Chain A
Amino acid sequence: MNLELHKIAIRKLEWGPRTGARDHVLTINKEELVSLLLEDPALRKVEAELAHPGDSVRILPCKDAVEPRCKLEGPGEVFPGWIGDVETVGQGKTLVLEGAAVLTTGRLVAPQEGIVDMSGPGAEYTPFSKTCNVVLVFEPVEGVELHELEAVYRRAGFRAAHYLAACCKADKPDTVESYAFPPMTEAMSAFPGLPKVAYLYMLQSQGLLHDTWVYGVDAKKILPTMISPTEVMDGAIISGNCVSACDKNSTYTHVNNPVIKSLYAHHGKDINFVGVIITNENVTLADKKRSSSYAVKLARMLGVDGLVISEEGFGNPDADLIMNCWKAERAGIKTVLITDEYAGRDGSSQSLADSCPEGNACVTAGNANEVIVLPPMQKVIGEPATADVIAGGFFGSLREDGSMEVELQAIMGATSELGFNRIGGRTL
């Protein structure tokens, strides 16, 4: 499978009469975008706002972030199962508006966080302070049930992202990147002498507001399976995970999965990157045993020497991470784990809810309990009611001067366990 990513670099957004990209500026016809989204009868109102790096803007609660992408050539369409058909993706050409993101926000349940600050100290921690954002604020009609509402918001984000990219199909890309994913027979015999490495990609799958979808299939219902990294780039895996802003993998970080990026960068030099295995993180203990054993079995069938294993979330998924680790290590496969930590505000508590002696190689995306003070911003996009929740001590506290004291947990993507950021932890 071969995929070309045709990337248009976006450095600025503006409203205008016709949606399209020119000189790194993405012009958007707001009415067209909003009316497209309002086609969904479950949405009563959609507001669209722009937020740029450096703006005195706070967005909350941010549900998902989506990078504008669409297919230029090849079977299927991006976000299969949500935009268009469930046809297999990952081949041909895909257009990417790099530097732009669609951020979705709207009320789902009471305890919600997900802060994106476009400037100030909080901006250091979220990947989405560096993107030019189209922020969509949703209001549903009365009586939409919670499962459906989550899906409505999710789909609206994909539709907006797809719309923005599709309007730029005629515009010339700034760069073209090629990604090859050869058939197994070729992959196995390529680069003799280099260790074979696969990626074990753990997907949040605990239930409502904690779900991930693969080609439209609920990840809690899959057996671990193989996926081409190019399918991931086309949005075969999307996020329905709305809880724990710091370490939920947004759809944006799925399509830009940095582990896949790094494995490609080392492919043919230090390693032979032979595959991606996806697995889940179910609540049921029997599922954990089945999935971890099955995922490791797939790795053994591939005959890999090493696995990078990335987690999503904390607590329950720590158990899956640990099972994946020791089962792989005992099968003779060397592992490196990517996780984040809940070591308490002072960093003195135990970081993970589980451990095993085989887990001797860990990369951490930082302690999510570290406290940060976010100064007031001139503009807040989203639902002000959420501020009450923050004030209520769920995710931090609101100070008299309007600043907020929060843990990194409240900040979107702050401790991404895909290893998106440079943040990490160390022991003093």
Chain B
Amino acid sequence: MAGRAILVTNNPTFLSRVPAGVEVLVLEGGARDALTAARDRVHQGWRLANHPLYGNFRPHQQPYRSLLLLPPASSGAADAESLHFLEEALQLYQSPVSRVRQSLPGDLPEAMRRDCALLDRELLKATLESLH
């Protein structure tokens, strides 16, 4: 594999736990911002390693999203499947008619934020380990 994988996330607790061989890009903002940033990279040829809607959480139940992206293949073409999953996920997060608002990290009490960040890391664990 040419180049390093990138973890695009709005979960800052990844910063102090940088998985080996992975560049961590922590974004400000909500889950939607992480999804959008990953989507933009997929258009530049990066490939998604994990499903973006991991975890049995709805947009208001988990403010963090992390997307592991693998370096572009030599063809440079956008990976249709990565794009499909990200667009489906974004639709859920962007839906103007979504009845329940999505939550942002800042909306949550500290204890909840800590647990959400932990679960986010846990659910990414297997995908991060699969790199090795």
Contacts and interface: CB of A to CB of B under 8 A. Distances in A.
Interface of A: 109-111, 146, 204, 206-210, 220, 241, 243-244, 247-248, 282-288, 313-316, 318-319, 342, 344-346, 348-350, 353-354, 369, 389, 392-395, 409
Contacts of B125: 207-208
B51 A283 contact: yes
Given A109-B119, A286-B130, A346 B53 contact: no
A345 B99 contact: yes
A207 B88 contact: no
A353 B123 contact: no
Nearest to A221: B126
Contacts of B92: 315, 353
8 contacts: A110-B109, A208-B119, A210-B55, A283-B127, A285-B49, A287-B130, A314-B56, A346-B99
Given A284-B50, A315-B54, 19 more contacts: A109-B115, A109-B118, A110-B111, A206-B55, A206-B56, A207-B55, A208-B122, A208-B123, A210-B55, A283-B50, A283-B126, A284-B51, A315-B57, A315-B92, A349-B95, A353-B88, A353-B89, A369-B99, A392-B112
Contact of A243 (B55, B81, B89, B95): B55
Nearest to B79: A285
Given A207-B122, A208-B123, A349 B56 contact: no
Contacts of A285: 48-51, 81-82, 85
Given A206-B123, A349-B97, A393 B48 contact: no
Nearest to B122: A208
Contacts of A369: 99
A206 B97 CA distance: 28
A348 B99 CA distance: 10
Contacts of B43: none
Interface residues of B, number: 40
Contacts of A247: 56
Nearest to B57: A243
B56 A207 contact: no
A220 B55 CA distance: 14
Given A111-B112, A244-B56, A288 B51 contact: yes
Contacts of B60: 393-394
Contacts of A288: 51
A318 B88 CA distance: 11
Interface centre among A204, A241, A316 (most CB of B within 10 A): A316
B124 interface: yes
B105 to A, nearest CB: 13
B54 A316 contact: yes
A151 to B, nearest CB: 14
A208 B126 CA distance: 10
A35 B17 CA distance: 40
Given A283-B54, A315-B55, A207 B123 contact: yes
B115 A342 contact: no
Contacts of B97: 344, 348-349
Contact of A111 (B50, B53, B61, B91): B61
Contacts of B127: 283-284
A218 to B, nearest CB: 9
A299 to B, nearest CB: 23
Contacts of A204: 56
B96 to A, nearest CB: 11
A207 B122 CA distance: 6
B62 to A, nearest CB: 8
Interface in B52-74: 53-58, 60-62
A111 B122 contact: no
B25 interface: no
A25 B109 CA distance: 45
Given A206-B123, A344-B98, A111 B54 contact: no
B119 A316 contact: no
Contacts of B104: none
Contacts of B130: 284, 286-287
B34 to A, nearest CB: 15
Give the 4 A-B residue pairs with the shortest CB-CB distance, closest first: A315-B53, A244-B56, A208-B122, A109-B115
A18 to B, nearest CB: 41
A207 B50 contact: no
B53 A316 contact: yes
Given A111-B116, A394-B61, A210 B51 contact: no
Nearest to A218: B126
A243 B56 contact: yes
A248 B57 CA distance: 12
Nearest to B85: A319
Given A316-B51, A348-B97, A350-B91, A207 B126 contact: yes
